[in-house]
């Protein structure tokens, strides 16, 4: 454990009165990208978890036990994520695991959780497969999956640009292909047409090689699910080559966030996404969360920070319901549970372990994310397609 991590763990064990909580800590392992192209996402995950853990510990912890967070860098690499998860389960003896960003990492670490008889919850990964055909009894998702995001975005597209011709560009791995497939289905079901698709390697430096195909297809809209630093490169290169003058850019909810919008600059203007969170949500709970987040980190939370913050409250509600951190009882308690988040009340659907929540379409206007549409949670969630448990 690094000195920084040790200091953080010690700080999280303190109450607001400055005295340590007496009971043994609940240890939550966090396998998340702290370096590489997805490091900005991992930073929001860390901030959201740390803020929630501090607030929970200040109020007496979970069932009288303090929360201790143990971080490992997964580098957005499934093989690395598996190694780090095994270390946290076998050596650190964590009670619970979270943090995975790369959808391939979530799927791989889910198998590690099963082998170790522990539970995993992702706050980030979008791939529908995580809670559909590749679902696991030991894996939960507290954030919105690709299909939920696509429902909100397709509703906006149908209203504002009906029957558009759409070109699709995603990162070439599980999340990219899943998000493209989900939005393509949602958009074409509402009358949009398919202008073609390409998939670029993760951490691509040059997207101009795909611009010939993009121009030739003559789309009105481009959908992308690249994220982190990849988005900065894609959108700035589209602007440099003059392609943004005639294109509406829409994408997955992790494509443009508070972490990379500054680096993207004016190329982000007008971008629209379907998302499960916005700092603009006008509830007292969200206003309090945004104020606390800004005070702690001098920036706005994005969906990753908000969903990671909510994860601690999901886990707290389940432990208090189960009366234990034992896997079987905790898993049963998580199924069907409701908990409070900055977005409002979420429900964990018991059949596939997918959170149900209201969804939003948001657009970047003058450098800010503005809510331009909403879809109720039950309308966005789609069918329960998990058949493995």
Query: Going along the chain, which residue ranges are E strands?
Result: 26-32, 67-73, 96-98, 120-122, 139-141, 165-171, 193-200, 221-224, 248-251, 272-275, 338-341, 344-349, 354-356, 359-365, 368-375
282: number of Cβ within 10 Å: 8
Span 251-306, pLDDT tens digits: 998 899 888 999 999 999 999 999 999 999 999 999 999 999 999 999 999 999 99
- pLDDT tens digits for the chain (389 residues)? 444 444 444 445 443 333 345 589 999 999 999 998 889 999 999 999 999 999 999 999 999 999 999 999 999 899 999 999 999 999 999 999 999 999 999 999 999 999 999 999 999 999 999 999 999 999 999 999 999 999 999 999 999 999 999 999 999 988 899 899 999 999 999 999 999 999 999 999 999 999 999 999 999 999 999 998 999 999 999 999 999 998 999 999 889 988 899 999 999 999 999 999 999 999 999 999 999 999 999 999 999 999 999 999 999 999 999 999 999 999 999 999 999 999 999 999 999 999 999 999 999 999 989 999 999 999 999 999 999 99
Q: Where are the domains of the chain?
A: 3-144+281-356, 147-275+361-381
Q: How far apart are CA 265 and CA 176, in angstroms?
A: 23
Contact between 70 and 28 under an 8 Å Cβ cutoff? The reply is yes
**How many angstroms separate the CA atoms of 214 and 166, rounded?**
10
3-state secondary structure of 152: helix
> Contact at 8 Å (CB) between 274 and 152?
yes
Give the bridge partners for 354, in sequence order.
141, 349
Please provide the CATH number assigned to the domain covering 147-275+361-381: 3.40.50.2300
The Cα–Cα gap between 365 and 385 comes to 36
Strand ranges in 8-159 using DSSP code E only, listed in sequence order: 26-32, 67-73, 96-98, 120-122, 139-141
Question: 191-244, pLDDT tens digit by residue?
Answer: 999 999 999 999 999 999 999 999 999 999 999 999 989 999 999 999 999 999
Q: Report CA dihedral (306, 312, 317, 321) to the nearest 10 degrees.
A: 150
Reported pTM: 0.86
Q: Classify domain 3-144+281-356 at the CATH superfamily level.
A: Response regulator (3.40.50.2300)
Long-range contacts at 383-386 (CB < 8 A, ≥ 24 apart): 384/349, 384/351, 384/352, 384/354, 385/132, 385/133, 385/352, 386/131, 386/132, 386/133, 386/135, 386/351, 386/352, 386/353
Please indicate whether the domains covering 3-144+281-356 and 147-275+361-381 agree at the CATH topology level.
yes
Ramachandran bin of 25, using left for φ above 0, alpha for ψ from -120 to 50, beta for the remaining angles: beta
The packing angle between helices 3-12 and 39-58, to 10°, is 30
Where does residue 8 rank: exposed (0-12), middle (13-18), buried (19+ CB within 10 A)? buried
């Amino acid at each position: 454990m690094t000195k920084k991590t040790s200091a953080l763990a010690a700080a999280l064990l303190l109450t607001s009165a400055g005295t340590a909580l007496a009971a043994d800590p609940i240890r939550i392992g966090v396998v998340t990208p702290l370096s590489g192209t997805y490091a900005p996402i991992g930073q929001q995950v860390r901030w959201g978890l740390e803020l929630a853990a501090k607030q929970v510990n200040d109020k007496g912890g979970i069932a009288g036990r303090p929360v201790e967070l143990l971080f490992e860098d997964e580098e957005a690499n499934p093989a690395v994520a598996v190694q780090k998860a095994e270390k946290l389960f076998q050596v650190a003896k964590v009670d619970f695991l979270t943090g995975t960003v790369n959808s391939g990492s979530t799927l791989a670490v889910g198998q590690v959780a099963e082998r170790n008889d522990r539970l995993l919850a992702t706050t980030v990964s979008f791939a529908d497969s995580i809670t559909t055909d590749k679902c696991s009894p030991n894996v939960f998702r507290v954030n919105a999956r690709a299909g939920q995001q696509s429902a909100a975005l397709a509703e906006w597209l149908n209203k504002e640009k009906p029957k558009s011709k759409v070109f699709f560009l995603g990162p070439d791995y599980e999340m990219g292909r899943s998000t493209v497939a989900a939005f393509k289905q949602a958009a074409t079901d509402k009358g949009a047409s398919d202008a073609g698709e390409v998939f670029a390697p993760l951490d691509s430096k040059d997207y101009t090689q795909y611009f010939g195909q993009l121009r030739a297809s003559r789309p009105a809209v481009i959908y992308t699910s690249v994220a982190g630093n990849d988005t900065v490169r894609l959108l700035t290169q589209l602007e440099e080559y003059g392609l943004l003058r005639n294109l509406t850019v829409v994408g997955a909810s992790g494509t443009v966030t508070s972490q990379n919008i500054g680096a993207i600059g004016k190329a982000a203007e007008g971008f629209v996404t379907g998302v499960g969170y916005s700092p603009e949500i006008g509830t007292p709970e969200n206003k309090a969360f945004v104020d606390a987040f800004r005070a702690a980190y001098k920036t706005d939370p994005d969906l990753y920070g908000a969903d990671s913050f909510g994860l601690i409250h999901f886990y707290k509600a389940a432990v208090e319901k189960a009366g234990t951190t034992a896997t079987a009882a905790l898993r049963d308690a998580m199924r069907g549970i409701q908990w409070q988040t900055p977005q409002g009340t979420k429900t964990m659907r018991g059949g596939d372990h997918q959170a149900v929540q209201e969804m939003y379409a948001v657009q970047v206007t003058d450098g800010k994310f503005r809510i331009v549409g909403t879809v109720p949670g039950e309308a966005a969630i789609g069918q329960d397609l998990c058949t493995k448990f």
